[in-house]
Amino acid sequence: MTSHQPIILALTGGIACGKSETGRILEEQGFAVLDTDFLAHQLMKAGGPVFQRVVEQFGDQVIGIDGEINRAALGKIVFEDPAALEDLNRQVHPAVIDAAEQWKSNQNGDAAVMVPLLFETGWIDPWDAIICVSADERTVFQRLEKRGLNEADARRRVAAQMPLDEKEKRADFIIRNSGTLDALHEQVCSTIQRIRNQRNTE
C-alpha cells in the first residue's frame, strides 16, 4: 500500500514514442503497470477468447506454423486496409478493456494502464490523469527503422493511428521523448509529482 491516495493513470501516445520505456520507469517508481498490447496478445493466443474470432474474420492465413496468430501476417493485412484494422479492433478491444478493468479493480496502490489506442477506442474512464508520450516525427521513423520496418510500412503504421497532436490535445499531461533516457526519466518523475500535487490540492 502507498502512504498517499493511490492514483490510476492512463498512458497513451504514438507508435515508437516510448510508452514501454515510460511504463518501466513508472514501475521503478512503485506503480503497477498493465500493458494492454501484451494483454491483447495473451487474449489472442490459441484457445483464448479472441483467437477464434480473429481467425473467423481473417482466415487461416493469419495462423502461423505454431498454431498461434502470426502477428506479422495479421499486421500486413490490417495496416494496408483501414477497414480490416477496424474489424480487428472490434474483435479485440472489448475483451481487452474488460480484462483491463478487472485488473484495475484489483489494484490497491498506484497503477498505470498502457493503452496505445485510448482515444481511438473511446475508452473514457475515470482516470486520475491521462499521459501522452510523444516524440518528433524524425525520431519516430528512426525508431521504427531500427525495428525493421521500411519507410512505407512505418508510414502506414503511423497513419493508422490518431494524429499525435490530437492525442496531445486530449491528454492531461504530455511527456516529450525525443531525447535521452535520462531526460525521459526526469520528465516521468516530475509528471508524477505534478499529478500528486494536483491531487493533494483537490
Q: Given a cut of 50, is residue 1 above it in pLDDT?
A: no
For the chain, what are the domain ranges?
A: 7-33+112-195, 39-102
Q: What pLDDT band is residue 114 in, cutting at 50, 70 and 90? A: very high
To the question of whether residue 99 is assigned a binding role by annotation, the answer is no
Average pLDDT over residues 137-160: 92
Residue 18: other Cβ atoms inside 10 A: 24
Lowest-pLDDT choice from 6-10, 123-127, 171-175: 123-127
Residues 47-105 have pLDDT tens digits of 888 999 999 999 999 999 999 999 999 998 998 898 999 999 999 999 999 999 999 99
- What backbone torsions phi and psi does residue 9 show, to the nearest 5 degrees? -110, 150
To the question of whether residue 104 is assigned a binding role by annotation, the answer is no
Residues 118-142 have pLDDT tens digits of 999 888 778 999 999 999 999 999 9
**Percent of the chain whose pLDDT exceeds 90:** 81
Q: What is the pLDDT of residue 35?
A: 97
The contacts of residue 111 (CB under 8 Å, 6+ apart) are: 6, 7, 8, 9, 31, 32, 33, 34, 104
CATH assignment, 7-33+112-195: 3.40.50.300
To the question of whether residue 189 is assigned a binding role by annotation, the answer is no
Write out the three cell numbers for 12: 497513451
Residue 29: other Cβ atoms inside 10 A: 15
Average pLDDT over residues 166-179: 97
Cα(194)–Cα(22) distance, rounded to whole angstroms?
Answer: 16
To the question of whether residue 48 is assigned a binding role by annotation, the answer is no
Q: What is the pLDDT of residue 5?
A: 83
Q: What is the pLDDT of residue 202?
A: 66
Q: What pLDDT band is residue 2 in, cutting at 50, 70 and 90? A: very low
To the question of whether residue 75 is assigned a binding role by annotation, the answer is no
